[in-house]
Structure 1
Amino acid sequence: MATPPPVTDTLARFVAETDYLSISERALANTEMHILDTLGVALAAVSTPVATIAFDYCTRPGGASEASVWGTHLKLPVPMAAFANGLLAHGLDYDDWDAYIHVGHPTSMLTAAALSLGEFAGSSGKDLLKAYVLAIEIITKIAANAPNVQDRGFHSTPVFGSIGAAVAAASLLKLEPERIKAALGIAASGAGGIHRQQGSMVKPFHAGNAARNGVEAVLLAQQGFTADAAIIEAPRGFCDTFFGPATCDYEKMITGLGKPYFLESPGLGLKLHPCSAPQFLAADAALHLKREHNIRFSDVAKIEVSIPPLRYQRHYHPEVKTGLRGKFAINYVVALCILDGELEIETFTDAKANDPQVQQALSKVHVIVDKTIPEPGPYCPVTVELTDGTRFAYTARIAKGHPENPMTENEVLDKFRSNAKSVISEKQSKELIATILKLETVDNVRALVNLLIPK
């Protein structure tokens, strides 16, 4: 077997040697939008059951008050704050996603790790921006040149998020390449997550755990803790373990780093709907029909949604009794689009899922397995049949929020304001937006974190 190129070493040197000024304005501007969006969805999740349980758990061990939990007055040791913030950011499944190479939901973990550590270390806005850009670049390079880890049953979000969180934290602390390699080795052994957990509280736990894992790995490496120095490419290392032996293209993983940055092209997606990304096309199609034809739910006889076999196995659930399950059930999402004409955070609560009218709407949705639609479902036909026999059909092909059909800056800002309003004041929200949109001028990110604390 041929000796693989030095992937881990090359990536570590890329992190240590890349200058902020080499990062394009577009990549930096996109970074600001993704960080802002992530902070907003984290604030919106503060009062959720998963957050309540997590906060109680996080405060039990005690420890130093080093970093803030966003949207609260809690301060915890940095790794635990990263856990809580990562969990919050993914708690509603409303955070950004990768539409191309199965990286999952990276910004929840990278922002939680970097901003929690950055608050403690007194990092600058430039430090935070650079850390995020480099982390996204590295995990997307790995993912683009490896098989889909979810085909092996792993949840891609924490697998890549652990590596990304370590990269971001190492960049913030300006570690030397040898220490960065150690951090990657430590984080790789803490990475993991089972894909089956979607629709449960464990899915946001994955994001929190990955953020904590990355921070812990870097803090240990900073103190001289050692690990395998070629963990990405070595036999029985990260790639062999998660993707299978001899399945990755290591040369491509280290070719063209930052040329262009992934955040420039093709970019990450931002969520218009507070549910899992595989439901977006069905949601867009159903909402289009509802609005275009002014469909009243009382006139609906049935709704048909056509999806390929694997999508059916993963995203059709004949019974939906919890809001969490509803986020991953294509029949629930379509039913609520036709019933209410919108998808909101409140759409995916247990109370809403068990409303008799919602259950009635759910019974009208017929999910059809269509083997002619290629996996994983690049388009989604939806048909609504009225009680008088009239049928309306529409096929959605590129979801709103996808990099090829992006949300506008105003839409992103409106989403942030809506998510933040129940936790921080309108004045704080306005100041937070202004701060993030000029993040490179911020001397200490504690000024940003202070705006996330309710006054």
Structure 2
Amino acid sequence: MPSLGKECPVTEIARNERGRALADYIAEAAGRDYPAEVVHEARRALVDYLGVTVAAAFDETVKPVRYLADRWQASGRARIVLGGTTTPAIAALINATATHAMDFDDVHYLGAGHPGGPCWSTAFAVAQENGADDQLTLGAFITGFEVMARLGGGGVPGVGRKLQRKGFHPTSVVGRMGAAAVACALYHLDAGKITNALGNAATTAGGLVGSFGTHGKPFHAGKAAMDGILAADLAAAGHIGASHLFELENGWLDAFIQDKNVEVPPLDFEERFELLRNGYKLLASCRATHASAQAAHQLAGQFDLAEVETIEAQVHPGALVTAGKLSPRSPLEAKFSVSFCVAMALSGYRLVWTDFSDAVFADAHVAELNGKVRLQPVDGQSPASAHVIVHLRNGATLRADTNVILGHPENPVSDVGLSEKYLSLTVPVLGDARAQTLLDAAWTFGAKGTVHPIGELLAGDW
């Protein structure tokens, strides 16, 4: 991977090389053939997206955004999940906020954040407005995912993880570029206008890790989708954006990572699909809590909680950046606390979305155990692994290990497992028949014609 600022001297010919590569890739979305396994993974991402978005459509983090849409009264054909229709940018803002509201959505384990919310919300909003067929919509989603994953990927030394260490949320930063790519593909923009759209998206990028544990984090996903559509709309209308912002000198990375200490992934679109390395959550908390909680689950019920002296959680150092809240003040903050999630798991809670409630947060046993957890960052340890060691008062110790988190592409959730997660989230909201019909539509998306049946199933007037 090239390091930031280490390429050859910039010339006018080479100045926009990365920008041109991005624009050309996006412009070719409609005519690209996608391998069957990539189409299938896109459908897996859609199943997960629909499940978490439906379940959180009226979450406390989403209600204020829905309220604003009612006030603005913007007309359009883009569906608000379990609501009416509006203009695409507003629908995408609401829906992507809902997708990320429970922190239960998909995750790019190499650092680009949570692509499903910005990319799928943009895809449906624009396609519903324009009447695009589902094959084009599927291709647009894949294209946006690939762009977002390349720009924010690279693993621990790469862009997304470095952004986190600098205090920025990758979903918010590169989510704008992913959403812009989706919208540009659906608008059939040429490479010149796509370049302008990407420049518009880059100049709006932002989103702070300091917002984690508040309504601000899911809003990051919603605003990324909204700004991606706005960037594409402006470009389609002739707005000129900076064309050099994706180069390794004087671009967006220079602004966000000013020490240049980062390995930038190549734009190797022809070599592989990053979508095949997407991950899915079975715990409704920050990804950085999962490995420790999964290990703690193995130890639940094996000892008397009153006999615990201390609990040691050996974690990747990045876990302390995004989930290092030792004394969370609310159920929402608890999602970003490795120690609290370990305490919940040891107490027998599954860490599904209903567990992050006032009742569980007030559980005295969980609170007591949380105070006994000691986080030990281990340099060189995989972010997908963790080790939990329980020290008892009698001197005995119990240990459990997570080598690779369930849901990681190296330890994937099965199609059946994704369907079960989806149904657990949607049946209480939609009922059995409607939830199953929507699930069937997701698993066949891209083969039947238009996006409208899914929009109709998500209407709020059933």
TM-score for both structures, normalised by structure 2: 0.89
SS of match in other structure, 1:137: helix
Determine if the alignment matches structure 1 residue 441 to structure 2 residue 447.
yes
Q: Which moved more, 1:396-405 or 1:423-432?
A: 423-432
Residue 269 of structure 1 corresponds to 279
Determine if the alignment matches structure 1 residue 203 to structure 2 residue 212.
no
Determine if the alignment matches structure 1 residue 59 to structure 2 residue 70.
yes
Q: Distance in 1 between matches of 2:327 and 2:213?
A: 13
Superposition map of 1:143-182 within 5 A: 143-144=152-153, 147=159, 148-182=162-196
Determine if the alignment matches structure 1 residue 140 to structure 2 residue 154.
no
Determine if the alignment matches structure 1 residue 380 to structure 2 residue 394.
no
Q: Distance in 2 between matches of 1:31 and 1:87?
A: 20
The question of whether the paired residues in 2 share the 8 Å contact of 1:310 and 1:376 is answered with no
Letter in 1 for 2:390: V
Residues 82 and 290 (structure 1), Cα distance of their counterparts in 2 relative to 1, 3 Å cut = same
The superposition leaves residues 127-171 of structure 1 with CA deviations (integer Å, 9 ceiling, x where unpaired) of: 121011111222222234654222322111111100000001111
The question of whether the paired residues in 1 share the 8 Å contact of 2:331 and 2:356 is answered with yes
Determine if the alignment matches structure 1 residue 349 to structure 2 residue 357.
yes
How many residue pairs get matched? 445
Residues 114 and 378 (structure 1), Cα distance of their counterparts in 2 relative to 1, 3 Å cut = closer
Q: CA deviation at 1:308?
A: 5.4
Letter in 2 for 1:125: D
Query: Residue 115 of structure 2 is aligned with which of 98, 103, 106?
Result: 106
Letter in 1 for 2:274: F
Determine if the alignment matches structure 1 residue 260 to structure 2 residue 265.
no
Q: CA deviation at 1:192?
A: 0.9
The question of whether the paired residues in 2 share the 8 Å contact of 1:123 and 1:443 is answered with no
Superposition map of 1:46-85 within 5 A: 46-70=57-81, 72-85=82-95
Superposition map of 1:407-422 within 5 A: 407-422=413-428
Determine if the alignment matches structure 1 residue 127 to structure 2 residue 133.
no
Residue 431 of structure 1 corresponds to 437
Superposition map of 1:237-316 within 5 A: 237-244=251-258, 253-254=266-267, 256-264=268-276, 267-290=277-300, 293=302, 295=303, 297=305, 300=308, 302-307=310-315, 311-312=319-320, 314-316=322-324
The superposition leaves residues 290-323 of structure 1 with CA deviations (integer Å, 9 ceiling, x where unpaired) of: 26x4x55466554332335564465333322311
The question of whether the paired residues in 2 share the 8 Å contact of 1:9 and 1:230 is answered with no
Residue 36 of structure 2 corresponds to 25
Q: Distance in 2 between matches of 1:317 and 1:14?
A: 40
Determine if the alignment matches structure 1 residue 367 to structure 2 residue 374.
yes
The superposition leaves residues 327-354 of structure 1 with CA deviations (integer Å, 9 ceiling, x where unpaired) of: 0101110111111241121221234212
Q: Distance in 1 between matches of 2:314 and 2:62?
A: 35
Q: Distance in 2 between matches of 1:402 and 1:242?
A: 28
Query: Residue 344 of structure 2 is aligned with which of 336, 339, 345?
Result: 336
Q: Which moved more, 1:413-422 or 1:49-58?
A: 49-58
Q: Which moved more, 1:430-439 or 1:297-306?
A: 297-306
SS of match in other structure, 1:226: coil
SS of match in other structure, 1:263: helix
Determine if the alignment matches structure 1 residue 44 to structure 2 residue 55.
yes
Residues 378 and 42 (structure 1), Cα distance of their counterparts in 2 relative to 1, 3 Å cut = closer
The superposition leaves residues 36-82 of structure 1 with CA deviations (integer Å, 9 ceiling, x where unpaired) of: 10111111112321112221122212221432211x22322211111
SS of match in other structure, 1:393: strand
Q: CA deviation at 1:248?
A: 7.1
Question: Which sections of structure 2, spanning at least 5 residues, go unmatched?
Answer: 1-8
* Aligned residues: CA RMSD: 2.4
Letter in 1 for 2:190: E
Residue 399 of structure 1 corresponds to 405
Q: Distance in 1 between matches of 2:291 and 2:258?
A: 31
TM-score for both structures, normalised by structure 1: 0.91
Q: CA deviation at 1:30?
A: 0.5
Q: Distance in 2 between matches of 1:179 and 1:21?
A: 19
Letter in 2 for 1:42: T
The superposition leaves residues 240-267 of structure 1 with CA deviations (integer Å, 9 ceiling, x where unpaired) of: 22234866778x634x313221123xx1
Residue 330 of structure 2 corresponds to 322
Residues 368 and 24 (structure 1), Cα distance of their counterparts in 2 relative to 1, 3 Å cut = same
Q: Distance in 2 between matches of 1:141 and 1:51?
A: 29
SS of match in other structure, 2:399: strand
Q: Which moved more, 1:403-412 or 1:187-196?
A: 187-196
The question of whether the paired residues in 1 share the 8 Å contact of 2:149 and 2:274 is answered with yes
Q: Distance in 1 between matches of 2:440 and 2:263?
A: 42
Residue 8 of structure 1 corresponds to 19
Q: Distance in 1 between matches of 2:395 and 2:115?
A: 45
Q: Which moved more, 1:143-152 or 1:397-406?
A: 143-152
Q: Which moved more, 1:43-52 or 1:83-92?
A: 43-52
